[in-house]
Amino acid sequence: MISALLVMAIGAIVLGAALGWASVKFKVEGDPLVDKIDTILPQTQCGQCGFPGCKPYATAIAKGEADINQCPPGGDEGVRKLADLLGREYKPLNAEHGIEKPKSVAFIDEQTCIGCTLCIQACPVDAIVGAAKQMHTIVADLCTGCELCVPPCPADCITMEPIAETVETWKWRYPVFELKPVVTTSVVTTDHPTRAA
């Protein structure tokens, strides 16, 4: 009886020690919730969520002050990921904050730009270069497509252009299922068969 108790006790102690050691050894480096949420947000910094940037929105979500469906650039997938992370129910994007749009970059018409620097001040990621009274240009690589530079421009020379797909950025599509077998009607054209296909 006593030996059994002893065995149990020793077992418990050993296991406890092992668990304690493991928890110290394999401690996940403090990745606070805000940072985890922030990595999911698209970092467009557009403010459509009602906060001045992605980080503030992340903070608000973490504190429970904001819902998870307020970021249009993150889109549906973003909401899903947030729901996943926070263990909440998925809900569709709140249209009050805007709708999901294809990714675009800003483009300044260099002929019209008067060099007022207003857009530089608006750009949250410093994607616009230029100096006072000189023409301004947007570094397309850096532009997040937040559209914040569009309204301040007094010359209305900034437009948003959707990013076109190129051979390099093209993605293979999700394989589609053909539920009904295709009736094989062979395309018979003599000169350029593939044009018909």
Partner 1 sequence: MGHTDRAPLLRKLFNFHGGVKPNANKQQSAAQPICTLPLSREYVVPLHQSIGGTPQPLVVAGDRVLRGQRIGAADGNVSSAVHAPTSGCVVAIEERLMPHASGLSAPCVVIEADGLDEAAPRENFDWRSASPDAVRDYLRDAGVVGLGGAVFPSHLKLKANNSIGLETLIINGAECEPFITCDDRLMQEKAREVIEGVALMAHLMQAKQTLIGIEDNKPDAIAAMQAAAQTAGQSNISVVAIPTRYPAGGAKQLIRVLTGIEVPHGKRSTDYGVQCFNVGTAFAIRDALENGLSLTTRVVTVTGNVERPGNYWVRIGTPMHELVEHAGIKPGTERWLMGGPMMGIPMPSLDVPVVKATNCILAGSAELFAAPEPEMPCIRCGECAQACPADLQPFEMYWHSRARNFGKAQEYHLFDCIECGCCSYVCPSHIPLVDYYRFAKSEIWAREKDKTAADQARDRYEFRNYRIEREKEEKAARLAAKTAAGRAAIQASQQTVTGDAAPSETADDPKKAMIAAAMQRAQAQKAAAQPQNTEHLTPAQQAEVNDAEARRARARELADQDAQSIGKTSPSADTPNKMAD
Least separation in angstroms between residue 132's CB and partner 1 is: 8
CA–CA gap between residue 73 and residue 33 (Å, rounded): 21
Return the C-alpha torsion angle 56, 61, 66, 70, nearest 10.
80
User: Which uninterrupted H or E stretch holds 158?
Assistant: strand 158-162
Q: Which of 61, 68, 123, 157 binds ligand SF4 (CB under 6 A)?
A: 123
Least separation in angstroms between residue 135's CB and partner 1 is: 5
CA–CA gap between residue 60 and residue 7 (Å, rounded): 51
Name the one residue in this structure whose structure tokens are 């940037």: 53
Query: Among the candidate windows 16-24, 59-67, 93-101, 185-193, which touches partner 1 by CB under 8 A?
Result: 185-193
**87 touches partner 1 by CB under 8 A:** no
**178 touches partner 1 by CB under 8 A:** yes
CA–CA gap between residue 128 and residue 164 (Å, rounded): 20
Contact residues for partner 1 (CB under 8 A)?
38-39, 41-45, 53-55, 110-111, 120, 123-129, 131-132, 134-135, 137, 139-142, 144, 165-167, 169-175, 177-182, 184, 186-195, 197
